[in-house]
Structure 1
Amino acid sequence: MEEANEPERTLLPLFPLGTVLFPGLVLPLHVFEPRYRTLVQHLAELPASLPREFGVIAIRRGWEVGRVEGEQGESTDAAITAGEALSLYEIGCAAEIRQLTELPDGRFDLMTVGRRRFRLLGLARNDAPYLTGEVEWLPEPKGEPDREEELAAGVLAAFQQYLKAVRSDDDSDGEQLPDDPTVLSHLVAATASLTLEDRQSLLAEPDTISRLKAERALLRREAALLGQVRAVPVALSDLAVPSSPN
């Protein structure tokens, strides 16, 4: 029996955010905090042969407001920053800088694209003002083509119906959606109106088939909720749950 290859591990600069990035999806960023300006400057100075990438990882609770100290390999839930607990999700996605614009005051506008998923193993101690994590890259296993295509067709149909329900125009009829099951699974996860927890759960799914199954269930849930909301004679804004100040 052949032994499975150990996942590749590396150190990756981290950018904790209140959002979830998926492979292949675009994420524009406006960088103004000094620590992340330093991060961008470091990446900009790398040789052209190296990818200019950092890890986008969603914040479970708390906010990163100051230097985070962490022992390499410790649980990220144990990280402390300025007396406030910072808890990060375990699964993130690397973002590659495709376009970088430095503004006169030292801020940056970035256009990034999600590349590959990673698992955060722990925080690394170093002299950089920004977080650095020890990560292992997660594979995108090849699934059963027939099963993937069958599930993708069902999710595609459900997503098109969902788009019609949430939009006031008919543009969704002519919208081009990807045929590739993996690409579709990432697009649906990123663009449907889901909670951060739902998106994070989809990012953490081990393969395309599992992600498509989860999306099928979520789209059915969202369709049922939309039907209930339309039966209530109040504005959608009146039903919104107040967001956390963190």
Structure 2
Amino acid sequence: MTNFISIFPLGVVVYPGEQLNLHVFEPRYKQLVAACIAEQKPFGIPVVINKKIMEYGTLVQIKKVEKMYDTGEMDIVTVGDRVFRILEQVTEIPDKLYTGAIVNYPDNNEGSHLRLLKEVLHGVRELHAILQIHKSFKKEDTALLSYDLAHHAGLSLDEEYELLHLFYEAQRLEYLKRHLHKVIPMMAEMERLKERVLLNGHFRNLSTDNL
């Protein structure tokens, strides 16, 4: 399927099913959101990296206008729908300040991969334990998808974007698994280094009895 959508480029990756809260203040995007609300249409959020609009993004649905300001600014709640690929950017739309794009929607195979999911989830929780942070998920463990875990795995923006255009759930989980296997030992070593630095200058119980 190919169609035209209005676009709101942002330096974030939005995944299908993810809630994104936006404060809309620029005139062109106030106009875009107002038009989408009036016409009950979604809009696209293509990823911006290094000031460049990338090829892939996510279509989002406006679920709620949380607050409307006297200035026309607004707080909106959106939810990611599906990933799109930009075929052509439309830089001028008659009587509109915002831009759009001709897009299609690659097939996205989710499937069920419980063993792999369990490994990735274990890695995410191990990483969080090292970082001493606690995050809970709104779904049962077995219902989670790679999209639910991606923002919690310590990926960079470039890595989150790479995951966005993997279209098989097994590929996405493997990507997260490889990332976690690489980053967890590094973070654990940094934590040990921090402990050594903090201990420097403190009284410590040291022994050579076992020599």
Would the TM-score normalized by the shorter structure come out above 0.5?
yes
Runs (5+) with no aligned partner, structure 1: 1-7, 63-86, 236-246
Separation of aligned partners in 2, 1:174 and 1:120: 31
- Cross-structure match for 1:204: 165
Count of equivalent residues: 193
Q: CA deviation at 1:29?
A: 0.3
Matched, 1:131 2:99: yes
Q: CA deviation at 1:175?
A: 8.0
* 1:174–1:45 Cα change, 3 Å: closer
Paired residue type of 2:43:
F
Paired residue type of 1:126:
I
Q: CA deviation at 1:44?
A: 1.6
- Cross-structure match for 2:84: 118
Name the TM-score, length of structure 1 as normaliser: 0.72
Instruction: Find runs of 4+ consecutive structure 1 residues off by over 4 angstroms.
Output: 171-177
- Cross-structure match for 2:180: 219
* 1:177–1:196 Cα change, 3 Å: farther
* 1:173–1:45 Cα change, 3 Å: closer
Matched, 1:38 2:20: no
Structure 1 residue corresponding to 2:69, chosen from 103, 109, 128: 103
Percent sequence identity is 26
- Cross-structure match for 1:19: 12
Separation of aligned partners in 2, 1:207 and 1:132: 27
User: What RMSD in Å do the two structures reach over aligned CA positions?
Assistant: 2.2
- Aligned pairs for 1:35-74 (under 5 A) are 35-46=28-39, 50=40, 52-62=41-51
- Cross-structure match for 1:94: 59
**Which shifted more, 27-36 or 90-99?**
90-99
* 1:132–1:176 Cα change, 3 Å: closer
Report the structure number with the largest CA radius of gyration: 2
Q: Aligned with 1:16: secondary structure?
A: coil
